[in-house]
Amino acid sequence: FLSVSLLTSMHNLRENPNHLRYDAWCGVAHGCTRKLGMKICGFLQKNNNLEEKITSFKERSSKDLLDNSDRDSRFRRTETDFSNLFARDLLPAKNGEEPTMQFLLEVVDILTNYVRKTFDRSTKVLDFHHPHQLLEGMEGFNLELSDQPESLEQILVDCRDTLKYGVRTGHPRFFNQLSTGLDIIGLAGEWLTSTANTNMFTYEIAPVFVLMEQLTLKKMREIIGWPDGEGDGIFSPGGAISNMYSVMTARYKFFPEVKTKGMTAAPRLVLFTSEHSHYSIKKASAALGFGTENLILLSTDERGRVIPADLEAKVIDAKARGCVPMFVNATAGSTVYGAFDPIHEIADICEKYNMWLHVDGAWGGGLLMSRKHRHKLSGVERANSVTWNPHKMMGVPLQCSAILVRERGVLSGCNSMCAGYLFQPDKQYDVSYDTGDKAIQCGRHVDIFKFWLMWKAKVCAHISPNNCLIFILYLCCLDLSHYLYTKIRDREGYQMVFEGEPQHTNVCFWYLPPGIRDMPDGQERRDRLHKVAPKIKALMMESGTTMVGYQPQGDKVNFFRMVISNPAATRSDIDFLTDEIERLGHDL
Amino acid sequence: FLSVSLLTSMHNLRENPNHLRYDAWCGVAHGCTRKLGMKICGFLQKNNNLEEKITSFKERSSKDLLDNSDRDSRFRRTETDFSNLFARDLLPAKNGEEPTMQFLLEVVDILTNYVRKTFDRSTKVLDFHHPHQLLEGMEGFNLELSDQPESLEQILVDCRDTLKYGVRTGHPRFFNQLSTGLDIIGLAGEWLTSTANTNMFTYEIAPVFVLMEQLTLKKMREIIGWPDGEGDGIFSPGGAISNMYSVMTARYKFFPEVKTKGMTAAPRLVLFTSEHSHYSIKKASAALGFGTENLILLSTDERGRVIPADLEAKVIDAKARGCVPMFVNATAGSTVYGAFDPIHEIADICEKYNMWLHVDGAWGGGLLMSRKHRHKLSGVERANSVTWNPHKMMGVPLQCSAILVRERGVLSGCNSMCAGYLFQPDKQYDVSYDTGDKAIQCGRHVDIFKFWLMWKAKVCAHISPNNCLIFILYLCCLDLSHYLYTKIRDREGYQMVFEGEPQHTNVCFWYLPPGIRDMPDGQERRDRLHKVAPKIKALMMESGTTMVGYQPQGDKVNFFRMVISNPAATRSDIDFLTDEIERLGHDL
């Protein structure tokens, strides 16, 4: 259902720099719009010595605050002597307002410096140390919990050290996880969330956030394609919990008596998922009392996509063994290959055998926001439930994961316990807005605000009959992974793990050092190749230049899984990565 | 095992203002150390017009940053015109550094203003609106997700409005939840956590946080009293999930085959918990496949504490019915009454019948840090697992909850799936520091840093043979609840829900408007009384002056549950609350 005119207009956007919307985003990633960047930000260019100014900003701000005309650079230590201030001097202490503001601004200075450095390619991604080294104390950084309160000066030093010895997950050369990047709007949203410090479980203490969650979940359901965005859902602490919700909800739909009588009230239930799927489905089957042996793994094609015929055969087999097939998980964006299971064909089988269809779009759900790529989730509108993690492809700070359920009532039916002492029915407002009783949690962190704010700041919607939207930024990541794929697929020393263009930004490959390239296929070559990726990864971490993940999969020895979810990454970073792999791996 | 000399020295600390440690904290709560406060913060007092200065701080900072000598107050709008800036102009955009810094500092300005107002009693706790009012849009505050990117100016307005229509959970007169307050050190910790934006699941991407978690969990186990702090544990997204972990872990310990074969491989298992316990135990019994009917509720005494003889009788009865008693939850600090179940007596029964003892100290666990109050959890060292939420009594920002397990190995045995593609065994560092596989989550938010930082900044440890520690701040909350209790227990118009001094800061009471006081006991009086608390609460919320919870419990009609966990609260706030209840409830 991709609209040709839209694709054409996307093309035009690329060609015509006056169409800022697409290029302004992607110019960053493609390094092709220096001119454009100058044009956009021209009004800022008068400030040439920016870095220097920002570096001295905090000092001067402090001076101004205290109305002190002395411009001596040691001012802060003299006038706001944090070494003599303690937590007890902060609000709510009497006269605590000034030290509180001074302290928070000092913290912000540390954090904004960290933000700047995160985007600076001349900084390292990490400064690696082994656990025993950090535990012994690095240059006075003492992780042990103290017996006496430390001064605010020491607390500030602890903050700096914590960041110093951590990993810059927003660095343009950090490719290690599905969730990378440091989104400034999301960061602002998270700072605000921390400051508001409330709890999602009732409207009365989180009125704005509860409504934001409701509106955002509805929009997500519309994008999935459920009629009028009807249904239910909730933000949970991560994709694994969201997937657990899907299994629980399915069980409640088919066997509601399990809620009161336990699993022994149901027949022997079986679940199905791809052998490439995320391990959370297996964790859920263990935790919820199904047992991992009753989770049946489905075979995949060479690209890691479920083979529908294998599902049907295994359903028939399970029924023949007296089991009741109840639940199928289709993965939209697998962890390693980035594969999308064929949802329509799986949905057909689910309908035929009356099984719940869950789509785990934790990683791939973000593509629903792209006209160009959402066809990979074609059929998702037939799912009974969907997991979608904006903290992955959409760059929302961790944690931000939604479980969406098509049928209204089943999620709350499954989880509600009607605890009158927590959820009073006789409040003055419409208590259907109290979300606590449909969660398995009681207190629930506010995960919605950063996402809502990013949506407000970024989403370009082009309403169509299919309600597609474009979250433009992340198209760049897909373009970059295409660049990497075309660069290395025929390059000497590289071997792709599977043939053909990757479906998501996952690019899986072996790097073969020269000493291995001509070895005959066999166990010895496999053994040596298996050790290459771990060795290169260890060297990368020790040099601190970049990070990328590796793993074995099935009978395939360790390979790199490159994954791109950070809009700060550019082609130069991809080139840097391959250069680094070759530099570190050449002599292995 | 309370040490007399310690109590004496606590008394001395109160009497002698040179002993700052106790008084500096509690002076805030007791309003008795104005002189002391002046003394502590004397060096700050030269800055008289602080508020005014801070208000204009951001404007002037912006001017300095841009090196602009024009001191016109409209500077910000002229020079940093956020109305022409969009998310695409922020980092990683070229020339994005300046707008990024400007934007973040503007956000911080909004947040620090909010922090100041939170502690200002002249501000309202909330500005209540019904859901339909907020959804219709308040003075231009549009919650609907937009179709086009909004300017940064609008994003900043959205941030201000979000806070404006929210609830100040850190306000000294917000008493609505078990988790209240706005801890400045915790806030700084949370801002840093957001900026670091990483994931707890492997050491390689969260080395510092993983070690902080390990050290903090060990310290918590030492405080519980387990030998050498041995055992295991993990921070989870809240007390309900922590309690769910305890049930899962217990089941794995006794019936490990359930993990692979499901609940049908076990006999009919039963769980026990107080009728006053948190509903999360019931949610866990439903979710994990036990069934809520196999959760047996224990009778309590008039103070809400489990009657051990009732437990033993019900264990015997369950066995007679062919069930296998497996798990007992003892609550340390119940949600409504703040009751502590008698752990030693319950532990005796658990040992006798070979059952897992879990202590849900989500609310009461914080008292383990107090020499004076930790006796209420006496016997906790005999538990097999403990839930302890620093985000409740210890004032850590939400979410911060720990599940602690006495026996090492059982938590990871229960949850590990050995997903080689996520947790590679061939890394260069000691992979026992990769915590992901013992969690039911995969990605896991960093909840430890704020707590670690608060501990560093605040904990006073007086090592004794019992390893007791004093987290001094929260003694004030207990003192305040004692003040409230003594104030209202004999006051006309009040009736206590149970006799005697509350065990925690929960004070449960009915307010009887004059028109009800002389009514004969009976259904009509009950019906009228049942409506009083909801009406007063609604009026409170509409006037925005304070918030306190109410609920029915068993056959008791709606009563107020006052709870104090905010060290910013003082006696004057307690007086304000009772005055407000009387003002609003007098004519009901």
DSSP string, A494-543: EEESSSS--SSS-EEEEE--HHHHTSPSSHHHHHHHHHHHHHHHHHHHHH
Angle separating helix axes B97-118 and B152-164, nearest 10 degrees: 10
| Short-list A260, A73, A50, A278, CA closest to A178 | A278
Q: Do A458 and B149 touch (CB under 8 A)?
A: yes
In the chain, the amino acid numbered B516 is I
Please tell me the predicted confidence (pLDDT) of residue A462: 56
- With pLDDT > 90 as the criterion, what percentage of chain B qualifies? 79
Q: Do B198 and A286 touch (CB under 8 A)?
A: no
| Short-list A549, A397, A134, CA closest to B210 | A134
* Closest chain B CA to residue A566: B92
- The average pLDDT across A491-499 equals 97
Q: Do B150 and A205 touch (CB under 8 A)?
A: no
Q: Given the DSSP bridges, would you call strands B324-331 and B269-274 parallel, antiparallel or unpaired?
A: parallel
Residues of chain B neighbouring A480 (CB-CB closer than 8 A): none
Q: In A, residues 471-530, which contact B (CB 8 Å cutoff)?
A: none
* pLDDT at position B1 over 60: no
* pLDDT at position B100 over 50: yes
CB distance A135 to B433 below 8 Å: no
Residue B385: both structure tokens together: 């697992």
Backbone angles phi, psi at A507, to 5 degrees: -120, 115
Q: Which of A206-220, B20-34, B391-405, B448-462 comes out lowest in average pLDDT?
A: B20-34
* Cα gap B509→B563, rounded to integer Å: 11
Interface test with A, best of B56, B94, B127, B271 (most A CBs within 10 A): B94
Please tell me the predicted confidence (pLDDT) of residue A71: 31
- Selected residue with higher pLDDT from B288 and A34: B288
CB distance A183 to A474 below 8 Å: no
Helix (H, G, I), strand (E, B) or coil at B165: coil
Q: Say yes or no: B138 contacts chain A, CB-CB below 8 A.
A: no
**CB-nearest partner of A551 from B84, B103, B420:** B420
Average pLDDT, chain B: 87
Please tell me the predicted confidence (pLDDT) of residue B421: 67
Please tell me the predicted confidence (pLDDT) of residue B457: 93
Residue environment code for A73-99, b if the CB has 16+ CB neighbours within 10 A, otherwise e: eebbeebbebeebbbbbbbbbbbbbbb
Q: How confident is the model at residue B30 (pLDDT cuts 50, 70, 90)?
A: very low
Backbone angles phi, psi at A401, to 5 degrees: -135, 135
- The average pLDDT across A7-26 equals 36
- Selected residue with higher pLDDT from B60 and B556: B556
Q: Give the side-chain half-sphere CA count within 13 A for B523.
A: 0
Q: Do A241 and B454 touch (CB under 8 A)?
A: no
Q: Which of A568-577, B25-34, B526-535 comes out lowest in average pLDDT?
A: B25-34
* CA dist list (Å): A98 to A76, A103, B41: 13, 8, 10
* Closest chain A CA to residue B56: A65
Q: How many residues does chain B have?
A: 588
**Residue A167: other Cβ atoms inside 10 A:** 29
Helix (H, G, I), strand (E, B) or coil at B506: coil
- In which element (H, E) is residue B78 found? helix B75-79
B485-508 pLDDT, tens per residue? 999 999 999 999 999 999 999 999
**CB-nearest partner of B112 from A51, A101, A398:** A101
* pLDDT at position B321 over 50: yes
* Cα gap A470→A454, rounded to integer Å: 13
- With pLDDT > 70 as the criterion, what percentage of chain B qualifies? 84
* Cα gap B285→B294, rounded to integer Å: 8
Write down the residue that tokens 């979810």 correspond to: A565
* CA dist list (Å): A441 to A357, B152, B295: 24, 34, 18
* Closest chain B CA to residue A213: B143
Q: Which of A493-502, B2-11, B87-96, B320-329 comes out lowest in average pLDDT?
A: B2-11
Q: How confident is the model at residue A138 (pLDDT cuts 50, 70, 90)?
A: confident
CA A23 to chain centre: 24
User: A516, exposed or middle or buried, with CB in 10 Å at 0-12, 13-18, 19+?
Assistant: middle
**CB-nearest partner of A44 from B27, B99, B194:** B99
Q: How confident is the model at residue A471 (pLDDT cuts 50, 70, 90)?
A: low
- DSSP helix, strand, coil percent of chain B (3-state; round to 5): 50, 15, 40
DSSP annotation of A237? S
Q: Do B145 and A34 touch (CB under 8 A)?
A: no
Please tell me the predicted confidence (pLDDT) of residue B473: 59
Please tell me the predicted confidence (pLDDT) of residue A75: 29
The domains of chain A are located at 1-46, 198-470, 474-585
Q: Which of A254-258, A451-455, B154-158, B431-435 comes out lowest in average pLDDT?
A: B431-435
- The average pLDDT across B279-302 equals 98
CB distance B207 to B214 below 8 Å: no
Please tell me the predicted confidence (pLDDT) of residue B201: 93
- In which element (H, E) is residue A155 found? helix A152-164
Residues of chain B neighbouring A27 (CB-CB closer than 8 A): 94
Q: Say yes or no: B390 contacts chain A, CB-CB below 8 A.
A: no
Residues of chain B neighbouring A452 (CB-CB closer than 8 A): 145
* pLDDT at position B61 over 80: no
Please tell me the predicted confidence (pLDDT) of residue A468: 45
Interface test with A, best of B54, B185, B198 (most A CBs within 10 A): B198
Q: In B, residues 35-74, which contact A (CB 8 Å cutoff)?
A: 37-38, 40-41, 44-45, 47, 50-51, 53-54, 57, 60-61, 64-67
Cα dihedral angle (A455, A458, A460, A461), rounded to 10 degrees? 0
- The average pLDDT across B103-112 equals 96
* pLDDT at position A398 over 60: yes
- The average pLDDT across B120-133 equals 97
User: Mind telling me how many Å the CA of A146 is from chain B's nearest CA?
Assistant: 6
- The average pLDDT across B381-396 equals 96
- Selected residue with higher pLDDT from A138 and B353: B353
Kindly report the CA angle at B234 between B232 and B237, in degrees rounded to 5? 155
* Cα gap A549→A538, rounded to integer Å: 11
* Cα gap B290→B271, rounded to integer Å: 8
- The average pLDDT across B342-364 equals 98
Q: Say yes or no: B346 contacts chain A, CB-CB below 8 A.
A: no
**CB-nearest partner of B93 from A37, A279, A456:** A37
* Cα gap A16→A24, rounded to integer Å: 11
Q: Do A283 and B415 touch (CB under 8 A)?
A: yes
User: Mind telling me how many Å the CA of A399 is from chain B's nearest CA?
Assistant: 6
Question: DSSP labels for A222-278?
Answer: HHHT-GGG-SEEEEESSHHHHHHHHHHHHHHHH-TTHHHH-GGGS--EEEEEETTS-
CB distance A380 to A387 below 8 Å: no
Please tell me the predicted confidence (pLDDT) of residue A371: 82
Taking only Cα atoms into account, the Rg of chain B, rounded to an integer number of angstroms, comes to 26
User: Mind telling me how many Å the CA of A258 is from chain B's nearest CA?
Assistant: 6
**CB-nearest partner of B455 from A145, A179, A204:** A145
* pLDDT at position B101 over 70: yes
Angle separating helix axes A239-254 and A280-287, nearest 10 degrees: 50
Q: For A10-15, which contacts have Cβ atoms below 8 Å and span 24 or more sequence positions?
A: A10/A372
User: Mind telling me how many Å the CA of B99 is from chain A's nearest CA?
Assistant: 8
User: Mind telling me how many Å the CA of A43 is from chain B's nearest CA?
Assistant: 9
* Helix spans in B370-491 (H): 410-415, 448-458, 475-488
Just give the CATH number of A198-470: 3.40.640.10
* Cα gap A427→A334, rounded to integer Å: 45
Question: DSSP labels for A461-492?
Answer: E---TT--EE-GGGHHHHHHHHHHHHHHTTST
Q: Say yes or no: A453 contacts chain B, CB-CB below 8 A.
A: yes
Residue B184: both structure tokens together: 């400045």
CB distance B199 to B206 below 8 Å: yes
- With pLDDT > 70 as the criterion, what percentage of chain A qualifies? 84
Please tell me the predicted confidence (pLDDT) of residue B283: 97
| Short-list B181, B170, B169, B164, CA closest to B127 | B164
- Residues 6 or more apart from A10 whose CB is under 8 A from it? A22, A372
Average pLDDT, chain A: 87
**CB-nearest partner of A551 from B87, B192, B421:** B421
- The average pLDDT across A310-315 equals 98
Q: Do B51 and A97 touch (CB under 8 A)?
A: yes
User: Beta-strand (E) ranges in A160-288?
Assistant: 174-175, 232-236, 269-274
* pLDDT at position A521 over 50: yes
- Residues 6 or more apart from A17 whose CB is under 8 A from it? A23, A33, A35, A36, A39
For chain B, the straight-line distance linking the first and the last C-alpha, in angstroms and rounded, comes to 48
User: Mind telling me how many Å the CA of A495 is from chain B's nearest CA?
Assistant: 19
User: Mind telling me how many Å the CA of A89 is from chain B's nearest CA?
Assistant: 7
Residues of chain B neighbouring A258 (CB-CB closer than 8 A): 286, 289, 291
Just give the CATH number of A474-585: 3.90.1150.170
Q: How confident is the model at residue A424 (pLDDT cuts 50, 70, 90)?
A: confident
Residue B307: both structure tokens together: 């009657």
Please tell me the predicted confidence (pLDDT) of residue A475: 74
User: Mind telling me how many Å the CA of B207 is from chain A's nearest CA?
Assistant: 6
Please tell me the predicted confidence (pLDDT) of residue B469: 55
Please tell me the predicted confidence (pLDDT) of residue A469: 55
A139-151 pLDDT, tens per residue? 889 999 988 899 9
* Cα gap A339→A333, rounded to integer Å: 5
Q: Do B417 and A286 touch (CB under 8 A)?
A: yes
Write down the residue that tokens 């670091």 correspond to: B196
Q: Say yes or no: B144 contacts chain A, CB-CB below 8 A.
A: yes
Cis peptide leading into A17, omega within 30 of 0?
Answer: no
CB distance B172 to B570 below 8 Å: yes
Please tell me the predicted confidence (pLDDT) of residue A256: 97
Residues of chain B neighbouring A105 (CB-CB closer than 8 A): 108, 112
Interface test with A, best of B421, B508, B539 (most A CBs within 10 A): B421
- The average pLDDT across B234-256 equals 98
User: Mind telling me how many Å the CA of A383 is from chain B's nearest CA?
Assistant: 22
* Helix spans in B288-373 (H): 308-320, 343-353
Q: Given the DSSP bridges, would you call strands A269-274 and A295-298 parallel, antiparallel or unpaired?
A: parallel
A64-85 pLDDT, tens per residue? 333 333 333 322 323 689 999 9
Residue A530: both structure tokens together: 């298996």
- In which element (H, E) is residue A329 found? strand A324-331
* Closest chain B CA to residue A105: B108
* Helix spans in A303-388 (H): 308-320, 343-353
Q: Which of A460-469, B218-227, B294-303 comes out lowest in average pLDDT?
A: A460-469
